Structure 1
Amino acid sequence: MHFDVWWLSYPALGAVVGFFAGLLGVGGGGIMVPVLTSLFIAQGFPANAVVHLALGTSMAAIVVTSMSSLRAHHNHGAVRWEIVRFITPGILLGTFGATFIASRVASAPLAIFFVCFMGYVSLQMLVNVKPKPSRELPGPLGMGAVGVGIGGVSALVAIGGGSLSVPFMTWCNIKVHNAIGTSAAIGLPIALAGTLGYLVNGWSAAGTPEYSLGFVYLPALVLVSAVSMFTAPLGAKLAHRLPVATLKKIFAGVLMLLSAKMLHSIFY
């Protein structure tokens, strides 16, 4: 197994991803996908596979962060497990199914979709839009349909789904801390189904680099995850001491810049 100097950048990425995941309750895909795409291009990976590899690797890394996040929220009694039970079948179906779509779309349109969605997430953070609680949760069938939608988008942009599930739950009169805790729990089936989907779809893909399993690049996964596990609790501790509203605005700006860099890497 030969050492690649680019591997040194993965622990640094893990430190940043873990910190912001703990601080702002985000899965980290918004940072990981554009940074990994740029790193994979610099490493000379095939242009037609770089975004797919970034999405698959990010999804696999989110498995680790979502497990620690879920445990923390469960310990605080913030997870509404009955919501998790009803929404998970749709989540699994939507996430796994969308990886089949993603694997058949070229890198460029996939990157454009990612950037457009991150623009929406950034705008949500900047404006701090809170949907008015105006209704009740739908029945099991409706929850399943919502799960398919949240899972599908999450697979295409490698996020834990919080930017969709938290607004949905607060709109349905779920208290904000319960919405965030429940969203953390929903992040695990999203990450597991997404990882499995990117493994399956990338298995026979031509030109994937050495040390990859399907569309998951193992050195990046191991080194990002190993460090993010330690920095996530630090971010969570600081969340209670720092002005989170201000940090969200800075984070939104960072997401926009990273997304722009990703587009530049792919098209130039």
Structure 2
Amino acid sequence: MQHLQDPYWLAGLAAAMAATGLVSGTLAGLLGVGGGIVIVPLLFNIFPLFGVPEAVQMKVAVATSLATIVPTSIQSARKHHAKGAMDVTLLRSIWPAMLVGVVLGTLLAVHVRGEGLTAVFALVSLLVALNMGFTGVSFSITDRVPDGPPRQAMGIGIGAVSAMMGIGGGTLGVPILSMCGAPIRSAVATASAFGLIISVPATLGFILGGWGDPRVPPISLGYVNLVGLALIAPSSILATPWGVHLAHTIPPLWLKRAFAVFLAATSARMFYSLFT
């Protein structure tokens, strides 16, 4: 690990974090996905270049991603709620179960080996890639979100997996709600609130879970790298309109397929790192 007072190390890390935000923001605007699904694999590949120990690379990537989701999810949820697209009834019924899932997922993420988080991210990324690669723009298996225990199980699952992957509500929430018959605008709006339910407690958990760990990179709070938090979120917000502009020039199905390829490549890279 490079020393904190090395100006070249700090400048390089800062540049890498800003670039991560620009890439994730552009892809978020282009593909309509949460930044976490992009930020985590980028940080996973960047941290080895800066001497971050392999044992904590994935934990720091997940924790830092979750921290950047907090301000963006607040902004997004407020805007969607103001437009009246959010399914408040569904949100009220599912958030307690989702919070339970977030707590369980965060506890697992903090205590398992970094390879465990990598495996979870690789597997879920592959499943999402297959869903996006082989279904149409609109695809559903039922006409409404189930009630009762199935809905609570859905909330626990989304919360736990999202916390372990460092993602907000969009990556899992939007396709799951869409497959349950929710209109895409409602799915996106409701999932934006999922991001807030997931990111705040999970970030706090990663801060506490990594407190005092000597392996984390400099300028970190627990497993959350503050350089990443300070630079990824604003640069991502800056770049999102660029992606939105590009999205209006490319057919939606092409976008969906392109992101499926990106996720499949990410999954393959992570599986390769696990077995080599």
What's the TM-score, normalizing by structure 2? 0.87
Is the CA contact (8 Å cut-off) linking 1:57 and 1:216 kept in structure 2?
yes
Using the TM superposition, give the Cα deviation of residue 211 of structure 1 relative to its aligned residue in structure 2, in angstroms.
0.6
Shift of the 6–263 alpha-carbon distance from structure 1 to 2, 3 Å rule, reads farther
Matches within 5 A, 1:82-231: 82-128=89-135, 130-139=139-148, 142-231=150-239
- Within the candidate set 13, 35, 44, 2:42 is matched to 35
User: Is residue 170–residue 192 contact of structure 2 (8 Å, CA) maintained in 1?
Assistant: yes
Distance 2:106 2:256 in 1: 29
Question: Of 267, 270, 275, which aligns to 1:259?
Answer: 267
The amino acid across from 1:144 in the alignment is: Q
Distance change in 2, residues 1:222/1:264 (3 Å): farther
Question: 2-side partners of 1:132 and 1:31: how far apart?
Answer: 27
Q: 1:76 to 1:234 in 2, by over 3 A?
A: farther
Where in structure 1 are there 5+ consecutive unaligned residues?
Answer: none
**Correspondences of 1:232-247 after superposition (within 5 Å):** 232-247=240-255
Shift of 1:265: 5.3
- Please give the per-residue CA displacement for 1:198-237, whole angstroms capped at 9, x wherever unaligned: 1121113342222111110111121111201112233334
Structure 1 counterpart of 2:22: 15
The answer on whether the counterparts of 1:122 and 1:255 sit within 8 Å (CA) in structure 2 is yes
Letter in 2 for 1:137: P
Write the deviation string for residues 75-113 of structure 1: whole angstroms up to 9, x where unpaired: 432111121222111122211221111112112232122
Find the counterpart in structure 2 of residue 6 from structure 1. Answer: 13
Q: Choose 76-85 or 159-168, whichever is displaced more.
A: 159-168
Distance in 1, Cα, partners of 2:197 & 2:101: 11
Code of the aligned partner of 1:246: W
> Which piece of structure 1 moves more, 166-175 or 154-163?
166-175
Question: 5+ unaligned residues in a row in structure 2: which ranges?
Answer: none
Aligned equivalent of 1:81:
88
Percent same amino acid among aligned pairs? 37
Number of residue-to-residue matches in the alignment: 267
Query: Following the alignment from structure 2 to structure 1, what is the Cα–Cα distance between the partners of residues 272 and 178?
Result: 36
